[in-house]
Amino acid sequence: MSRVLAVYSEKGGVGKSALSAGLVAVARKRKLGVIAGDLDPRGTFTAELGISAEEAPAFSMNDLLALDPQGETGLAADAFAPASEAWSGVQVIAAERALANRETDNVAVGLEFRLRLGLKGVVGENMVGILDLPPRAGGKLVTSALVAATDVIIPATLDEDGRIGAKEALNTIKLVKDLGMNPDLRVVGIVPSIVPGGRSTLKDAIGEFLADEYGSLYRDDLVIPRHSLRQQTRFACVPITDAPGREAQALTDAYDRILIAAGVAE
């Protein structure tokens, strides 16, 4: 089965786009075909993959969601833009600021189903789709991604923002499932994100709360460590898998474990 992974939290600053890029990097290293979809109008994910606002493709995520497909599938391929040379082989469905206008669309055909239709038949064998969602409480962009996804990964910093972001994300996911929009959508887990080394009273307390509250959904076995190297590779727009040293390897291993947990790799 083709996998489309949505990375989602309803709080910003929890490492959502960093996780999305990390998953792209390890999937690429495993020689998988990667389609990276950016549903955040800020375009952070798009920029890290080497597509700047000045070089935005003529057909983007905004256009894909604005277009009435009239039942036609596979249109996402028309929006593909190649990532930069550092990310060679990755196909990007880029975000742009105008994507925010889709939140207020009042169209006859359900916008929320257009991305799923567009991706149908496009994510094939030995491929994975990775969608970076905006940190928003529901809305048409978030719902579009959750309807198109097979799995959701929720990064959570071990602080109050991370806790709230995870809780509200689960509420939105439940609504999408309960409304029958994507009843088979699976939550891979709540993943501790940007976790500092050593002990911390707050970190430990939030981790214990999430474990108590969500049981096996809280995946402390998939923890993403905090390393300054991640910010450096993000600024340079290069994959973490291309960086040398132990910090790069620790982050690569963390992202790879998440990819395996999502059923994309073994």
pLDDT tens column, 135-165: 988 899 999 999 999 999 999 999 999 999 9
Per-residue pLDDT of the chain (266 residues; tens, 9 = 90+): 689 999 999 999 999 999 999 999 999 999 999 999 999 999 999 999 999 877 767 889 999 998 877 778 999 999 999 999 999 999 999 999 999 999 988 765 688 999 999 999 999 989 999 999 999 888 999 999 999 999 999 999 999 999 999 999 999 999 999 999 999 999 999 999 999 887 778 899 999 999 999 999 999 999 999 999 999 999 999 999 999 999 999 999 999 999 999 999 88
Distance separating alpha carbons of residues 194 and 247, to the nearest angstrom: 13
Q: Estimate to the nearest angstrom the gap between the alpha carbon of 10 and the chain centroid.
A: 12
pLDDT at 199: 74
CB 223 within 8 A of CB 254: yes
Q: Where are the alpha helices (DSSP H) in 67-151?
A: 114-119, 140-148
CA distances from 194 to 156, 185, 204, 238 (A): 8, 26, 14, 19
**Cα–Cα distance measured from residue 85 to residue 173, given in angstroms and rounded to the nearest whole number:** 35
User: First vs last Cα of the chain: how many Å apart?
Assistant: 14
According to the model, what pLDDT value does residue 109 have? 60
d(CA 173, CA 164): 14
pTM assigned to the model: 0.96
What is the pLDDT, as a whole number, of residue 69? 78
> CB neighbours of 129 closer than 8 A, spacing ≥ 6?
2, 3, 4, 5, 34, 35, 36, 37, 119, 123, 148, 149
Helix (H, G, I), strand (E, B) or coil at 38: strand
Which pLDDT belongs to residue 1? 64
